[in-house]
Amino acid sequence: MSLYTSDDALLCRVFPTYLKGATLSWFTMLPPNSINSFATLVVKFETQFSTSGSHHLTSIALVGIRQEKGESLKAFVDRFNKVAMTIRNLIPDVAMHHMLTTLQPEPFADNLCMQPATSLDELRKRVAKFMQLEELREFRNQVRAEASGEKSKDEKRPPRSNWPTW
């Protein structure tokens, strides 16, 4: 709320027009004559809602994100990036370090250990390549499973020559 006035009475009357939900309910529950100045109103408001403000994440938030066993690289990177995007002033080297230490021991983690990424942009490019590889492997496994599933259905079926004719 910004008004170009220092009139306490006016500020106290305009203040509730900016409130809604829980803040408005709190304001309407204030005892009559409990506010004697705008400064008092501000102090009571801040005291009531000081813990409701948004908290800024730091790079420490990345420590708790780990690639779960069996979790795809894509799913992990998506989760990791969602948190990383909310961190103000994230240092790229810190993000790269946390990504490396939280990956499951798989080909991508091995590759990063042998040839560390020099920038966050390079890391993103390498992640994209490994995600494509992961998706290709998953597709191939699915095709193989479907092919072996169809064979087993055909093997269960008797040969056509033995089928009755009507």
Computed over every residue of the chain, the mean pLDDT equals 82
Domain 59-156 -> CATH class: mainly alpha
* Coil, helix or strand at residue 57: coil
Averaged pLDDT for residues 2-12: 76
Averaged pLDDT for residues 107-111: 88
| Confidence at residue 106, expressed as pLDDT on a 0 to 100 scale | 85
Q: Any residues with CB less than 8 A from the CB of 107 and at least 6 apart, and which?
A: 130
pLDDT-based confidence at 136, cuts 50/70/90? very high
Taking the alpha carbons of 14, 20, 23, 27 in that order, is the dihedral positive or negative? positive
Listed by start position, the domains of the chain span 8-52, 59-156
Averaged pLDDT for residues 17-32: 87
Residue 49 has pLDDT above 90, yes or no: no
